[in-house]
Chain A
Amino acid sequence: MKYVISDVMTITKRQLLQLARIPELLVFSTIQPVMFVLLFRFVFGGSIETGQPGGYVQLLMPGIFVQTVAFTLAATAVGLAEDMKKGLIDRFRSLPISRGAVVIGRTFGDALLNILVLTVMATAGYAVGWRPTSGSLSIFLAFLFLFMFGYALSWIGIYVGLAVKEARTVQSVGFLVTFPLTFLSNAFAPTTGMPKALQYFAEWNPVSTMVAACRELFGLKNEFGATASSWPSQHPLETSLLYMFLLMVVFIPLSIRKYKNTSN
């Protein structure tokens, strides 16, 4: 349909307009990641030994970046569930617009918000001593990776939002999934201290491979890996790309189909 692009843009624009109309939303979506940066930097930063020049914050920032974009899953899911509850999705579905436009538009909106959040976090990180040492191309690639990871997770969020429907439940489900995922990883502490089974999980955890990939792109050695010999630890970039590809291949068609078939 020739209107697909304009439909998607209208839906995306709606989310940006929300931010313009209620600027507090913007503050709330950026305050939590910034708080995490500060808390981890000053609470753990002093006691975690790293062989890294520049200290813990260098390892921490990629971890927090990944954690924050991982929360996109919950953000997308909650946003969609709220729209459904308020009947807005019903109205959209009664309009002559292309099938995927509403959900695609939402994933774009959430992705654009991520750009903003990442920018604010990078600034906060810089302020507390984070200094990536790689070149600007690598740094750009790292952020592109983060952006894509958030986008891929957004599509799971669409599915969760449509399946669970109740915004509050969605919120809990989102956190129940993303919290363990981000902590059972190399994001904040070395995986070597974990029990064997968890170590294994942490190594294959997409959050770990993403964090490791970003650390590499920011010019760090990935110190928090457990056994450097495992495949995902050796090839974090490739593994992460593979994960993102799989997520999108599975969840984009699944979520669009779910949207078409879902009603309150």
Chain B
Amino acid sequence: MKSVIAENLVKTYRNGEVKALDNLSLDVEEGTVLGVLGPNGAGKTTTVRILATLLKPDSGIATVAGIDVAKHPDKVRELIGLSGQYAAVDETLTGWDNLVMFGRLYHLGKSASIKRADELLERFSLTDSARRPIKTYSGGMRRRLDLAASLIVQPKVLFLDEPTTGLDPRGRQEMWGVIQELVKGGVTLLLTTQYLEEADQLADEIAVIDHGKVIARGTSDALKKQVGGERLEITVDNTDIHKTQEIVSRISSNAIHTDVRTISAPVSTGSLALMEALRALDEAKIHPLDIALKRPSLDDVFLSLTGHVAEEEVIAQPVKKKRGGKK
């Protein structure tokens, strides 16, 4: 059964000048995680806002648990949890205050709200900071509290809009852990992210969106296959480059790509190719600095689908941009 369905959603701003969503369609199977992946401005947040009843589409239909979000927003609100890009909690109040308040707004009784707040604080390792104003929390703690607030009544469907944007690597790891726990519990989750790795880690299925449209859809593996198979990658000292290229050319019949000291080529035989390369290198007395069999990253997927990389990656990893560009 599909827990979330969006059909041909269109949303324009400024009298049609800006098209945020351009016939976007997607769905999420009950009990699974859909990662909506795309760069800034692709339409991720707009999609979530429509599904979470905060925004009405210009046209198209969206349902959550079979209920039309535009027609019965009140019913949908009882079934969903939403955690946004920034921690939407009252910063002057303590973590405990916030959770109790949200419990009351979900119409749990007073003692039930308190009980639930304590449980959630415990579960998200926030008990020690429960009585401190949110202002004093770290970014990661705020996000966890924000997530906790969206779980007060066990939601049927959870929407997480860029849950780790702006977090440091440690905060991100923690958040991933928390989300993975949730997923084990069987929640239906729609998660947006601009981090390719995040979608890869957390989602069962990925919908890549760009300019308000879904441009590809499938499991992480399927998307990677769409871009191509595995690549053998060997990094060696400058003096060994030439010999290594020769060895690689014996293993792979395809185009060999050399980038500074890293030689790479597509291979079709998987780990056999890796072993063959190692043996040949050993015989030639070449000690590789690094050798690996690489599956295409989601960066490559994104680039080959959209013709441009996901924003952040442009500056951080120009090498990948070049490599993927060959497709």
Tell me whether B80 is interfacial, beta carbon within 8 Å.
yes
B107 surroundings in chain A (CB, below 8 A): 3, 6, 96
Known: A6-B107, A7-B105. A90 touches B92 (CB 8 A): no
Which of B54, B77, B104, B105: most chain A CB closer than 10 A? B105
Tell me whether A17 is interfacial, beta carbon within 8 Å.
yes
User: Across the interface, do A263 and B90 meet the contact criterion of CB distance under 8 Å?
Assistant: no
User: Across the interface, do A18 and B84 meet the contact criterion of CB distance under 8 Å?
Assistant: no
**Those of B238-280 within 8 Å (CB) of chain A:** none
B92 surroundings in chain A (CB, below 8 A): 18, 21-22, 25
User: Across the interface, do B94 and A21 meet the contact criterion of CB distance under 8 Å?
Assistant: yes
User: Across the interface, do B88 and A96 meet the contact criterion of CB distance under 8 Å?
Assistant: no
Tell me whether A168 is interfacial, beta carbon within 8 Å.
no
Residue ranges of B at the interface with A (Cβ–Cβ < 8 Å): 49, 52-55, 74, 77-78, 80, 82, 84-94, 97, 101-102, 104-107, 133, 149
How would you classify the secondary structure of chain B's contact residues: helix, strand, loop or mixed?
A: loop
Tell me whether A134 is interfacial, beta carbon within 8 Å.
no
B52 surroundings in chain A (CB, below 8 A): 94
User: Across the interface, do A90 and B54 meet the contact criterion of CB distance under 8 Å?
Assistant: yes
Residue ranges of A at the interface with B (Cβ–Cβ < 8 Å): 3, 6-7, 10, 13-14, 17-18, 21-22, 25, 86-88, 90-97, 263
User: Across the interface, do A91 and B77 meet the contact criterion of CB distance under 8 Å?
Assistant: no
Known: A14-B90, A18-B93, A21-B93. A92 touches B54 (CB 8 A): no
CA distance A14 to B84 in the complex (A): 21
CA distance A61 to B89 in the complex (A): 39
User: Across the interface, do A87 and B84 meet the contact criterion of CB distance under 8 Å?
Assistant: yes
Can you list 10 A-B pairs with a CB-CB distance of less than 8 A? A7-B105, A17-B101, A21-B93, A88-B90, A91-B88, A92-B105, A94-B77, A94-B80, A94-B82, A96-B77
User: Across the interface, do B91 and A10 meet the contact criterion of CB distance under 8 Å?
Assistant: no
User: Across the interface, do A14 and B94 meet the contact criterion of CB distance under 8 Å?
Assistant: no
CA distance A102 to B167 in the complex (A): 30
A14 surroundings in chain B (CB, below 8 A): 90, 93, 97, 101
B149 surroundings in chain A (CB, below 8 A): 91
CA distance A10 to B74 in the complex (A): 19
A263 surroundings in chain B (CB, below 8 A): 49, 54-55
Which of A7, A25, A88, A96: most chain B CB closer than 10 A? A96
User: Across the interface, do A10 and B104 meet the contact criterion of CB distance under 8 Å?
Assistant: yes
A7 surroundings in chain B (CB, below 8 A): 105
User: Across the interface, do A90 and B97 meet the contact criterion of CB distance under 8 Å?
Assistant: no
A22 surroundings in chain B (CB, below 8 A): 92, 133
